[in-house]
Structure formats: structure tokens, C-alpha cells
Structure 1
Amino acid sequence: MVSPNMLIFYVDSAERSAGFYTELLQRDPVESASTFALFVFDSGLKFGLWTRTDVQPSADTQAGGSELGIPVQSHAEVLRLHRDWQQHGVEIVQAPTQMDFGYTFTALDPDGHRLRVFCLS
């Protein structure tokens, strides 16, 4: 049985994206180089940022076809993160709203990858 535990976003600049996520997630990468950065979360999930031009084999992809889900415990936490991210200039593409699965908002990273913060109903 396999057990995937790593997600990699292809980005224009791993260094720039690592800076963005360091501030956004309030944690430092465990690995950081000019073309790759790696964050490890308390859940065990590994989140990599790989400079698109260095990916082997090369990938013809565009951002926005998936989301990084960020669960929180309350509506208040959704609103707090929304406010904090707006103050840091993060592009918000969906304001906080109630959806069928819970309370949520969606933002974009510098490469257009979707970041969905949510509190399940």
C-alpha cells in the first residue's frame, strides 16, 4: 500500500515562493536552495516548491488546477487569516463565504496556485 505525503508546486522562482510561504505559513523551510524549497508541516505533509525550469522531466503545466487546503478550527480563524493575508498583500480571489462543506476563502500565491482556508461545517 502506498501512502503519499508530499505535494510539489512548480513555481517561477523557488526562492521568491519560499519567502512568500515563510511569511504566510509562519514557518521556515527545512530545505532551501536556489531551485527548490521544502516545508514540513506538523501533520507530516511535505510541501515542495520547485523552480519550473529545473523540473525533470519538464512539465507543461499552468497553476490553478488544484488547491492547497488549509483547515482551521473556527469561522473566527478563517476571518483572522483572511484579514492578515490581505494586510500582507496576498491576492484574495474568493472572500470568506459559506459553502456546502464549510466556511472558506481562497487566495493565490505569486504563481497563481490556489490556497483555500476553510473551517468544516
Structure 2
Amino acid sequence: MIDSSLVILYVNNPEASARFYADLLGKQPVEASPTFAMFVLPSGMKLGLWSRHTVEPASTGTPGYGEIVFSAGSDEQVNSLYSLWQEKGLDIAQPPVALDFGYTFVARDPDGHRLRVYRLSQE
């Protein structure tokens, strides 16, 4: 069986996106160039930001059809991150709400990629 440990988002400006994610994640990329940046998250997952103008083969899709999901330990942490991300000026697509899987909100990065924070239901 194969495994996955890297998610790549195609972005308009990798350097600007790297600054955005460095502020959001509170850490610097482990790799950065004009066309690509990569972060390693505490879970070990890697987040790559690749220039949509140089990716091969070319990508013609638009962002927003998938999500990067961040888990929270409590409803309070969800609310705290929501407030923090609002203060940072993130575009909020969905304010905190209880859904069938848990308590969640959704924001968007500067390229329109969806960023979901959730706390899994305890039921």
C-alpha cells in the first residue's frame, strides 16, 4: 500500500503565499524559492505551494474544490482560531457552526483555497 504525506496547492505567487502561511502556521517554510515553498506541519504532513504559472503539466483548475483541514481539541479552540483568523483578515466562507461531524468554520487563503478548522463530535 502507498502512503501520502504531501499536499500541494497551486498558487499565484509562492513567495506571497509562503508569507501568508508562515503567519497562519506560526512557522517558516523549510524550503522556499520564487516558484515553490514547503512547510512541514507538526503531524509530519508537508504543505507545498507551487506556482500555478510554472507547474508541469499545467493546471487549469480553480481553487476551492477541496480543503486543507486543521483539527482542534475543543470548541473553544475553534472559536479562538476563528477570531484570530478574522483579525488577520482572512476571508471567512463559513462562520463557526455545528455540523453532523463536529464544530467547524471555513476560511480562504489569498488564492481561494479552503481552510477548514474543526473539532470532531464526541458522540
TM-score (norm: length of structure 2): 0.97
What amino acid is aligned across from residue 92 of structure 1 in structure 2?
A: I
Q: Distance in 2 between matches of 1:118 and 1:42?
A: 17
How much has 1:43 moved relative to structure 2? 1.1
CA RMSD after TM alignment: 0.5
What fraction of aligned residue pairs are identical, expressed as a percent?
47
Q: Distance in 2 between matches of 1:87 and 1:112?
A: 18
How much has 1:42 moved relative to structure 2? 1.6
What amino acid is aligned across from residue 60 of structure 1 in structure 2?
A: T
Task: Determine the structure 2 residue equivalent to 1:94.
Answer: 94
Q: Distance in 2 between matches of 1:98 and 1:83?
A: 17
Give CA-to-partner distance per residue, 1:51-77, whole Å, 9 cap, x none: 100101111110001000000100000
Task: Determine the structure 2 residue equivalent to 1:51.
Answer: 51
What amino acid is aligned across from residue 65 of structure 2 in structure 1?
A: G
Structure 1 segments unaligned to the other structure (5+ residues): none
Q: Distance in 2 between matches of 1:11 and 1:70?
A: 20
Q: What count of residue pairs does the alignment treat as equivalent?
A: 121
Task: Determine the structure 1 residue equivalent to 2:32.
Answer: 32
TM-score (norm: length of structure 1): 0.98
Structure 2 segments unaligned to the other structure (5+ residues): none
